[in-house]
Amino acid sequence: EPTGGAATMTVIGFNTARLAFSRARPSRPWTAAPLRSLATSHPLVLSHPSDVDTTETDGGRGRIVCITSGKGGVGKTTSAASFAFGLARRGRRTCVVDFDIGLRNLDIHLGMERRVIFDFVNVLMDECTLNQALIKDKREQKLAMLAASQTRDKESLTVDGVERVLSELSQMFDYVVLDSPAGIESGARHAMYFADDAIIVTNPELSSCRDADKMIGFISSRSRRSEIGDAVNPVSQTLLITRYDPERAAAEESLSLLDIEELLGLPVVGVIPESRDVLTCTNLGTPIITLGEENDAASAYSDMVDRFLGEEKELRFVMPEPVSFFKRIFG
């Protein structure tokens, strides 16, 4: 952390950096070759997005939610594990899928690393059935995980193969949560392509927000919904801000909640405070949301799940704690 003169330079430099960020934003979204052109003749294995937007009964398919970011190390997998666990705890049948082919970590966050026999790529290659690859959580009966492969590369993913697996999962579960790798490589693009909802994870720093901004444009222009066009709603995108420290934000040592909202222009579904317990829970194979209301980060994730499901909740842990009289005097 900067101290002394360096800290002063950090504070002074944030307004200049924010201005540079806004000037550097591209006038049009980053573009890449589409994964597939949706010609009208192509059969939709995964049902048309309008089905999930309009169906109000249990007969429709489940929603596909992509947890993604532009920058690595912002807490996507931690968030995906707690988000999926929270949905299952609220009675929603939930499957969380690790799309980070070759570098899987989701199984560790859920404490399932010793139970992985078959993985996502095995299903794609017809080396096992989907049911054989799914691992049920021992704590929440409505939660299951599909692990990524550690021995294959991302070229194993194909649009048709991913669509087939997601179609089957969406018939079995209310929510299919995709833990996407960072950036715009193959695993991330395949995860985002079929998303009905996207949760963009970012830290309160300029580099993270800049990369998140690219992801927002990418999802807006390269998802299946964007290719279908005006006939369906666009991907519903929201922000999840992790590792937030309101004291540092108030001192202008990091971006504030207002700064991030202005830079990225998306509604905030959750703000997760900085917490040492995140690392402890990861090492124990326990999603931090399981710590309950006594833990600030767990409470913030619980609030985030409720907001995603439509409940209105005020954001907590976004204001600095008041300093007591004795602390002001004695430090």
Taken in order 147, 89, 140, 292, the sign of the CA dihedral is positive
Provide the pLDDT for residue 31: 45
Between 23-32, 97-106, 304-313, the lowest mean confidence (pLDDT) is in 23-32
- Helix (H) or strand (E) run with residue 202 in it: strand 197-202
User: Which amino acid, one-letter code, is at 94?
Assistant: T
**So what's the pLDDT on residue 249?**
95
Reference 95, options 122, 63, 125; nearest CA is 63
In whole angstroms, give the CA distance from residue 68 to residue 75: 10
- Give Rg (Cα) of the chain: 20
Decide: 211 and 223 in contact? Cβ < 8 Å.
no
User: Residue 200 forms beta bridges with which residues?
Assistant: 68, 239
Considering the entire predicted model, what is its pTM?
0.85
Confidence of residue 29 (pLDDT cuts 50, 70, 90): very low
DSSP 3-state of 199? strand
pLDDT-derived band at 280 (thresholds 50, 70, 90) equals: very high
What sign results for the dihedral spanned by CA atoms 217, 266, 176, 117?
positive
- Per-residue pLDDT of 308-327, as tens digits, reads 999 999 999 999 876 555 55
Which residues on adjacent β-strands are paired with residue 271? Answer: 241
Tell which wins on pLDDT, 211 or 151: 211
pLDDT at 5: 47
The per-residue pLDDT for range 197-246, each reduced to its tens digit, is 999 999 999 999 999 999 999 999 999 999 998 889 999 999 999 999 99
Asked whether residue 135 carries a pLDDT value surpassing 90, the answer given is: yes
Percent of the chain with pLDDT over 70: 82
